[in-house]
Structure 1
Amino acid sequence: MTKQQQDEPPILPEEAVADDSASIGGSSTSESQASLRSSILDYRRENGRTYHRMSDGKYAFPNDAREQERLDTVNYVWMLTLDGDFCLCPKNDISAKRVLDIGTGTGVWALDYADAHPETSVQGVDLSPIQSTYVPPNCYFEVDDLEKEWTWSTPFDFIFCRDMNGSFADWEGVIAQAYKNLEPGGYLEIQDSIWPPVCDDGTLKEDSALYKWSHLLIEACDIIGRPINQTNKRPAMMEAAGFEEIKTTRVRFPISPWPKDQKLKEVGTANQVQLVHGLEALTLGLFTRVLDWTKEEAMVMCLEVRKDLKNLKIHAYWNGYVVYGRKPLSSEDK
């Protein structure tokens, strides 16, 4: 158990439990833009799932309807965890002028923030054009590769990033680009979980399917250079980039509704739903491409992990971190 885990009380279980981007939603008569849109929408198919085409292979998880539903459930898990807040930095209550949501996914966070802050311009960016085309007038979506140079000409005053663990090979570079594209006094906030899941009472055994699966995912992500177990290093990365007033909040995501605490029970219920229904999305690409498993072997592993996720006697949870920092009011871009 880490010192940070020791500093907080354990979760108690219930007693006796059994810009150069392709714009989405816009219209264009340009043949080149039409060709680009067609190529982006030509998803790659693998193991019965679809994956992004732009910068093919960078993102290991699918983008199909089942995954979109899971991503929306993950957003709900975060909203429960943060008591309905969009973020923990001051831009939750004080409207930003220009917001950038990097790795927007289905765009649900960007859409909700835009609805709540109609005076704010909200821009979401992702490798996949899976966002709704029915958007408020102050919300826009683009398809772009955020690991390439950012080309926006006007700075933002709030950049938001959630659940991009395993997506970037160079987090320091992404954070540096965020710093460069913020106006002085602007905020960057990163919300993410850290792997593997942990346990305070020994009920997550090393021979359990959940334990083995999570460590295999860590191994696969390490092999492709996109680690999922370094979320706690983000504050140091932000400090190195030049951010100040960096604040870190730890949150916890139970794997199921096993906690006694009512809020954590609700979080665990929603988290169990997205995990049970999203196991193949998290597993198939990495296990078959990187670890050389067959699809059948990966599906058997998912079956065993699903049993653990439904076992309320396993009191496991993921730690999550919300980290935000401010670009100095007087600063020179690094």
Structure 2
Amino acid sequence: MDNEAADEGHADQEPDERNGGWTSDYASSVSEASFCSVSSSVNAHVWEYGRRYQIFRYGRYPIPNDDEEFKRETFKHVMFKEMLHGKLYLAPLNETPQKVIDLGTGFGEWAIEFGDAFPSARVLGVDLSPIQPMWLPPNVEFVVDDIEDEWAQDSDFDYVHSRSVFVFLKDAQKVILSAFRNMKPGGWIEFLEFFGQPGCADGTLPTDSPFIKFFDVLRQVFIDVYGFDINIAEKLPAKLEQAGFVNIQHKVYHLPIGDWPKDKHLRTVGVYCREVVEELLSAAAAKPFSDAGIEKTEANELLQEARAVLFNKRVHAYMPAYIIWAQRPER
């Protein structure tokens, strides 16, 4: 998108003098609970490309944090729960986990539900954006920070959790090592990574499909512009082993995209997945494509072509989801 349009996005925001002119959803006192006691400016937002983004570590995470993204995250959370038949995790936790951290918690759905399920546990959600609800279970807390920084909290977590986060990290191994150092012996870590390359088992999604092309372009943008690894999920077991974790397990789910499966359960997952992917396409065609220098007209054309494939019921595409869990050794 051109600079003129981006400047128009800045002009649309509602200034707040307490936060240097940026919009904010949090009171300034909330930031005092952050790992690093960062200033109230982290609670602000910036508008660009017609979307809202976090101001803390601006550009570090190129996906919006606005109402449209809230809808996508909500669909994604429900989709994962449907995929796991209502479960919030697969790691073999004990019946009374005491201290849990949710890395890249987003809007906080998982952390809140986990806190409700385990009222004796303290659940801490960490994210770059102050977008979580203010009314929470008493055992749930959210802070604004970058998990790729050194962790400054207590080093006794018995469960470390993340969903769709490691694909957006520049140094996954650093975060895994931070988790290892800050976990109790015998504690568990679990990742769910959804974002990857769409697949197809019956040839209805050819390799030259605009849908495949869109993800090919996005992968290159992630590598060249942001230094991300879109295929990180496949590498996480080896990275966990390298860090010293044991009892490493993983499962791969092929989530249908759309309502084409005959199985009722898979069809429900597919409907949610299609919504998640459609919103992801829109978000990716905004800031990421613009940051890569892709013209707005070219991005919109590719977006519309990919959407047409997305809603074609004759295309039986799926998106792989990886769940990996491992244990810190008892000694």
Q: Please state which band the TM-score falls in when normalised by the shorter chain.
A: 0.7 to 0.9
What residue in structure 2 maps to residue 213 of structure 1? 214
- How many Å separate the matches in 2 of 1:110 and 1:26? 22
* CA displacement at 1:281 relative to structure 2: 1.2
CA positional deviation for 1:258? 1.1
Q: Secondary structure at the match of 1:269?
A: helix
Matched residue SS, 2:278 = helix
2:198 match: secondary structure: strand
For structure 2, the residue ranges without an aligned partner over 5 or more in a row are 1-25
Three-state SS of the structure 2 residue aligned to 1:196 is: coil
User: What are structure 1's unaligned runs of at least 5 residues?
Assistant: 1-23
User: Relative contact order: is structure 1 or structure 2 higher (C-alpha 8 Å, sep ≥ 6)?
Assistant: 1
Q: Secondary structure at the match of 2:287?
A: helix
CA contact (8 A) 2:167 2:195 kept: no
Partner of 1:82: 84
Q: How many residues align?
A: 302
Residues 1:325 and 1:301: Cα distance change in structure 2 (over 3 Å): same
1:157 aligned onto 2:158: yes
What residue is the counterpart of 1:57 in the other structure?
59
Distance in structure 1 (CA, Å) of the matches to 2:206 and 2:223: 23
Deviates more, 1:100-109 or 1:201-210: 201-210
Q: Partner amino acid for 1:90?
A: P
Equivalent position of 2:102 in the other structure: 101
Q: Specify the alignment match of 1:198 in structure 2.
A: 199
- Secondary structure at the aligned position of 1:222 is classed as helix
Q: SS of the counterpart of 1:207? A: coil
Structure 1 pair 34/200, CA: closer, same or farther in 2 (3 Å)? closer
1:308 Cα shift?
0.9
Question: Which letter maps to 1:74?
Answer: K
CA distance in 1, matches of 2:145, 2:302: 34
Partner of 2:303: 302
Q: Which residue of 1 aligns with 2:182?
A: 181
What displacement does 1:186 show? 0.4
Q: How far is 1:206 from its partner? A: 2.3
How is 1:30-69 mapped onto 2 (pairs within 5 angstroms)? 36-37=39-40, 39-69=41-71
Structure 1 position 297, deviation (Å): 2.5
Partner in structure 2 of residue 4 of structure 1: none
Which whole-Å CA distance do the structure 1 matches of 2:167 and 2:296 have between them? 21
Residue aligning to 1:255: 257
Q: Which moved more, 1:42-51 or 1:123-132?
A: 42-51
State the one-letter code of the partner of 2:121.
T
Among residues 238, 241, 245, which one is paired with 2:240 in the alignment? 238
Equivalent-residue separation in structure 2 for 1:277 and 1:238 (angstroms): 31
Aligned residue for 1:106, secondary structure, equals coil
Structure 1 residue 225: Cα displacement = 1.0
Query: Quick one: distance in 1 between partners of 2:46 and 2:219?
Result: 24
Q: What SS is found at the alignment partner of 2:187?
A: strand
Q: In the superposition, relative to structure 1, how do residues 28 and 209 fare at CA in structure 2: closer, same or farther (>3 Å)?
A: closer
In structure 2, C-alpha distance between the alignment counterparts of 1:268 and 1:174, rounded to whole Å: 31
Amino acid at match of 2:286: L
Deviation at 1:303, TM superposition (A): 1.6
Judge conservation of contact 2:31–2:42 (CA < 8 Å) in 1: no
Deviation at 1:262, TM superposition (A): 1.9
TM-score by length of 1: 0.86
Counterpart of 2:77 in 1: which secondary structure?
A: helix
In structure 2, relative to structure 1, the CA distance for the partners of 1:121 and 1:303 (3 Å cut) is: same
2:275 equivalent in structure 1: 273
In 2, Cα distance between the equivalents of 1:214 and 1:234? 21
* RMSD, aligned CA: 2.0
Counterpart CA distance in 1 for 2:42 and 2:199 is 38
Aligned to 2:8: none
- Separation in 1, partners of 2:234, 2:167: 14
Percent identity between matched residues is 34
2:284 alignment counterpart: 282
